[in-house]
Structures are given as structure tokens and as C-alpha cells.
């Protein structure tokens, strides 16, 4: 009485693909296993763009700070000393320091950026190669495939990746994309490891698709890789993330989410070193001090208040410290900053940077054909700013030399006059007009005439 029902089940088993098969050897890798690798590869593909944007931002900050330092120096060279120039000197020190400090950080942290890009590309290459090989291993009969569209572990395969084109549809980055500047956005790596990779590394029979997938690449046995023999080593697919070990078992002690477990496993599973190295390099880049550089901090009052160079400048130029580092006046600096610069950003800009930016200089200072004047804030070419600084510095030096020359002439005249004798016709000494020179004596010295006058006075008495 139950035979018809049994017959129907048999027919269903014959008609439904994979219904007769259980997950096991030679099964395709399920999507729940390979999709997280695609997600990781997609992020790795952006690391170079993130690095490029970071370096460009830092270079731009250095350029802006250097340019502003030149503008300040030009203004100070072109203007006579006044209360405003006193306020600008501490800012000049802070601005020059900001440019130099950022350049130093760039030099010391450049290795982090280079390492991150190199290791990201290396790991991405391992994952992409796995996906391309497994995604290309397909035949329509059966069908037979090595990547299944099925998500569930230990489930019958349903759908297959037939080619590299299918991988692109699944948003798997198997080729390097064109680099584009991208803001820092690393979600696949943290201090602990690879947070999205929660399974232990390796492939396991019970987590593959149907046996009828006939994927020799997932079967660590004789004939799959070597004729008549099984490999003695694990096959390190995807940098060891999907390593195929003897016995088709996972390396259960190594879970990428906790990188320390992967690192511990490298003693016997050296293929996992790629993961350890990539994590270290990219995580260091993710936390790089370069991301803490504040663009335009020399124009930000709040940032300046935290600048040691600015505080030292205030102590020296505004509080009169005679110490190189201004430490004898530092206790009064915070109040001095509030008194001199205020507390509002807009008013601070109007009192300082706006004056510098709006100050017009002669175009001829940097352009031999220049005939007009131009605000400093509109000159962005550092070469022009450097030439203008040289021009106004030289001009100030020439003006100072001319003044010194005039003073020297005045000094010489005052010294020489007493040595010359005047030629009066008669020697006379009148109390109401003082003592006059004795003109009767040629080349007489003034002192002689003074003595003669004194003697004449005494005789008259």
C-alpha cells in the first residue's frame, strides 16, 4: 500500500538536481564560503586609493602651510613694525613648525603606507587567483563546477559560477580596478583580525556542495593533483584562507577573526603567514598618525592653542621672554592668547590672517613685467611667493642700509666741524653770542680759540 508513495519519492529524487547527493568530497565551494573573500578582496582593492588620497592631503597641507609661512614673512618684511606685526610673529613660528612637523611625519610614516599597499595587493592577488581558477572550472554537463551559488553549508548545490564574468556580477574583484582617491574606510580589518571571517581557515567535506559537482580541486586525494598520489602538503588556496589539507579538514585552531590564532598556527601552516603580514601592515596604516594631521591648523585658533611652537612665540614676542623656549613666561601664555587673539575664530581671522591675505604687494616683486598690485592671498605659486619674499627682504635691507648711511654722514659732519677753523677777520669774544673763532690764526684748533676767548674775557674784566 505504500509502494506508490515510495515510487513518487524515487521519481522526485531522480528529477531534482543534487537531491540524491550529500555534501562531501569533490563538492563545489559554497557561496557562504567564497563570498566573504570577495568582500575582503573588494576592500583590499581600494587600499591604494586610500593611501593616495592620504598622501595628497598631507602634501597639500605642507604646501598650504609653507605658502602661508611665506606670506607672513613677506608681510613682515614689507610693513613697518606695528602692533599687528607683533601678533603675527607667533603665528609665523607655529605655521613654519606645522609645515616641518607634517613633513617629518610624512617621511617617518611613508613606510606604513607603502607596506599597506604592497600587502593589500599581495593578499588581493592570492584571493583573486583562487576565485578565477575555481570560477573558471566549470562544465555544463551535470553541471560540474567548483563554485556554487548555494549559501547553506552541507546543502545540495544550486546554481554555479560558470566563468569570470559571473564573478564580476557577484562583485568579486578578480582584477585590479583603476585607482581612485578614497577616504579612509577599512571595515574588513581591525586590531583583533579580520572581523568578517568568522570561520576557521580551510575547506572541509561537510561544508562543500554535491559530490556530483565533481570538483577535483576540493579533493585532497590521489589523482586530484598528482597521478596516483595524494599531495603531502596542504594546498594554500586564497593565501591559506581556504587551504585544502590532507584529510579535507579545516585548520580549526586558526580563525582569521582572531589574528593571534592564525599567527600561532603559522608554525605548522606557513602558508598562513600571508594573512598575518597583511593584517599587520594594513592595520598599522589604518591607525597611522598621518590621519591625525589637521589640515589648516595654523589658521585655526583652537588648534594653535595646542601648538607648543605658538605658545613659545607668544611667550617670546608678546610677553618678552628672554629664553629660547620661552619657558619662563609659559604660565602666562594662555591668558595672553585670550587677551591678544580673543576666543572667536572669525574675529581671530579678521585680526590676523585677513590682514595678511588682503595685503597687496607689487607684482614686479615676482614678475619682471608686473605693473599692478595683488593681494597676498591670491598668490598661490610658491615660486612667486619666494621671489616676492626675496624682493621685499632685499628692499628692506637696502632701505636700512640707506638710513645707516645717512646717520654715518651726520656723525662725520658733527665730528669734523670742531676741527675746522673759521676765518674771522678779527678775534672777538662777546658774552651775548658766545666765543667766536680766532680768524687771525691759520689752521688753528677750536680748543685754541676757546682758550684765547677765555683769556680775552679775563683781560677785559
All three cell numbers of 174: 578578480
Out of 270, 290, 310, pick the residue that ends a domain: 290
The four Cα atoms 396, 397, 402, 405 give a dihedral, to 10 degrees, of: 150
Kindly tell me the burial class for residue 225, based on how many C-beta atoms sit within 10 Å of its own C-beta (0-12, 13-18, 19 or more): middle
Residues 423-448: tens digit of each pLDDT: 444 555 555 554 555 555 555 444 45
Please give the residue that has the higher pLDDT: either 80 or 461.
80
CA distances from 285 to 142, 204, 274, 298 (A): 47, 34, 17, 25
User: Of the spans 19-33, 220-234, 376-390, which averages the highest pLDDT?
Assistant: 376-390
Instruction: Tell me if 99 is assigned to some domain.
Output: yes
Please give the residue that has the higher pLDDT: either 332 or 155.
332
Q: Is the pLDDT of residue 19 over 90?
A: no
Instruction: Tell me if 356 is assigned to some domain.
Output: no
Sign of the dihedral through C-alpha 113, 118, 119, 123: positive
Q: Is the pLDDT of residue 73 over 70?
A: yes
Instruction: Tell me if 414 is assigned to some domain.
Output: no
Please give the residue that has the higher pLDDT: either 249 or 181.
181
Out of 272, 290, 308, pick the residue that ends a domain: 290
Domain tally, the chain: 2
Average predicted confidence (pLDDT) for the chain = 84
Instruction: Tell me if 14 is assigned to some domain.
Output: no
Out of 248, 271, 290, pick the residue that ends a domain: 290
Instruction: Tell me if 230 is assigned to some domain.
Output: yes
Q: Is the pLDDT of residue 50 over 90?
A: yes
All three cell numbers of 98: 606645522
CB 171 within 8 A of CB 38: yes
Q: Is the pLDDT of residue 2 over 70?
A: no
Please tell me the distance from the alpha carbon of residue 258 to that of residue 254, in angstroms, as a whole number: 8
Q: Is the pLDDT of residue 14 over 60?
A: no
CATH for 26: 3.90.150.10
All three cell numbers of 428: 672777538
Please give the residue that has the higher pLDDT: either 147 or 108.
147
Instruction: Tell me if 191 is assigned to some domain.
Output: yes
DSSP per-residue letters across 279-329: HHHHHHHHT-GGGG--TTGGG-HHHHTT-HHHHHHIIIIIT---STT-TTT
pLDDT band at 17 (very low <50, low <70, confident <90, very high): very low
DSSP per-residue letters across 395-429: HHHHHHHHHHHHHHHHHHHHHHGGGSPP--SS--E
Please give the residue that has the higher pLDDT: either 141 or 303.
303
Please give the residue that has the higher pLDDT: either 210 or 428.
210
- In this predicted structure, what is the pLDDT of residue 431? 53
- Residue count of the chain: 461
Q: Within this chain, do residues 286 and 428 fall inside the same structural domain, yes or no?
A: no
Instruction: Tell me if 90 is assigned to some domain.
Output: yes
Instruction: Tell me if 299 is assigned to some domain.
Output: no
CB 184 within 8 A of CB 253: no
Angle at 436 between CA 433 and CA 440, to 5 degrees: 150
DSSP per-residue letters across 72-141: HHHHHHHSPP-HHHHHHHHHHHHHHHHHHHHHHHHHHHHHHHHHHHHHHHHHHHHHHHHHHHHHH-EETT
Percent of the chain with pLDDT over 90: 56
Reduced to 3 states (helix: H, G, I; strand: E, B; else coil), residue 180 is coil
Full residue range of the structural domain in which residue 217 is found: 19-176+185-290
Amino acid at each position: 500500500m505504500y509502494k506508490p508513495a515510495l515510487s513518487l519519492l524515487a521519481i522526485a529524487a531522480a528529477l531534482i538536481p543534487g537531491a540524491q547527493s550529500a555534501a562531501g568530497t569533490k563538492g563545489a565551494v559554497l557561496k557562504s564560503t567564497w563570498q566573504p573573500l570577495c568582500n575582503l578582496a573588494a576592500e583590499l582593492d581600494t587600499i591604494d586609493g586610500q593611501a593616495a588620497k592620504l598622501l595628497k592631503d598631507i602634501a597639500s597641507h605642507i604646501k598650504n602651510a609653507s605658502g602661508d609661512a611665506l606670506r607672513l614673512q613677506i608681510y613682515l618684511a614689507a610693513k613697518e613694525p606695528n602692533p599687528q606685526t607683533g601678533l603675527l610673529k607667533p603665528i609665523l613660528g607655529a605655521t613654519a613648525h606645522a609645515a616641518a612637523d607634517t613633513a617629518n611625519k610624512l617621511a617617518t610614516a611613508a613606510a606604513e603606507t607603502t607596506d599597506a599597499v604592497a600587502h593589500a595587493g599581495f593578499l588581493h592577488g592570492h584571493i583573486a587567483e583562487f576565485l578565477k581558477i575555481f570560477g573558471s572550472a566549470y562544465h555544463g554537463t551535470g553541471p560540474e563546477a567548483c563554485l556554487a551559488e548555494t549559501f547553506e553549508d552541507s546543502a545540495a548545490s544550486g546554481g554555479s559560477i560558470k566563468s569570470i564574468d559571473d564573478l564580476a556580477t557577484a562583485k568579486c574583484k578578480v582584477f585590479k580596478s583603476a585607482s581612485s582617491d578614497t577616504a579612509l574606510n577599512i571595515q574588513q580589518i581591525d586590531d583583533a583580525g579580520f572581523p568578517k571571517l568568522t570561520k576557521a581557515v580551510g575547506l572541509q567535506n561537510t561544508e562543500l556542495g554535491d559530490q556530483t559537482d565533481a570538483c577535483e580541486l576540493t579533493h585532497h586525494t590521489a589523482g586530484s593533483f598528482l597521478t596516483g598520489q595524494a599531495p603531502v602538503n596542504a594546498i594554500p588556496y586564497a593565501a591559506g584562507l581556504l587551504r585544502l589539507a590532507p584529510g579535507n579538514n579545516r585548520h580549526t585552531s586558526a580563525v582569521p577573526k582572531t589574528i593571534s590564532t592564525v599567527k600561532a598556527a603559522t608554525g605548522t601552516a606557513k602558508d598562513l603567514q600571508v594573512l598575518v603580514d597583511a593584517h599587520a601592515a594594513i592595520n598599522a596604516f589604518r591607525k597611522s598618525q598621518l590621519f591625525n594631521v589637521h589640515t589648516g591648523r595654523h589658521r585655526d585658533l583652537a588648534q594653535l592653542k595646542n601648538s607648543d611652537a605658538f605658545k613659545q612665540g607668544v611667550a617670546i614676542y608678546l610677553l618678552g621672554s628672554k629664553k629660547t623656549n620661552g619657558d619662563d613666561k609659559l604660565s602666562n601664555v594662555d591668558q595672553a592668547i585670550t587677551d591678544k587673539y580673543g576666543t572667536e575664530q572669525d574675529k581671530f581671522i579678521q585680526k590676523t590672517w585677513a590682514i595678511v591675505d588682503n595685503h597687496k604687494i607689487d607684482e614686479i616683486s615676482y614678475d619682471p613685467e608686473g605693473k599692478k598690485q595683488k593681494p597676498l592671498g591670491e598668490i598661490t605659486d610658491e615660486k612667486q611667493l619666494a621671489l616676492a619674499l626675496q624682493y621685499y627682504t632685499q628692499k628692506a635691507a637696502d632701505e636700512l642700509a640707506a638710513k645707516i648711511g645717512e646717520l654715518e654722514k651726520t656723525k662725520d659732519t658733527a665730528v669734523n666741524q670742531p676741527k675746522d677753523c673759521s676765518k674771522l677777520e678779527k678775534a672777538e669774544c662777546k658774552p651775548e653770542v658766545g666765543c667766536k673763532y680766532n680768524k687771525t690764526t691759520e689752521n688753528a684748533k677750536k680748543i685754541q680759540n676757546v682758550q684765547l676767548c677765555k683769556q680775552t674775557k679775563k683781560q677785559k674784566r
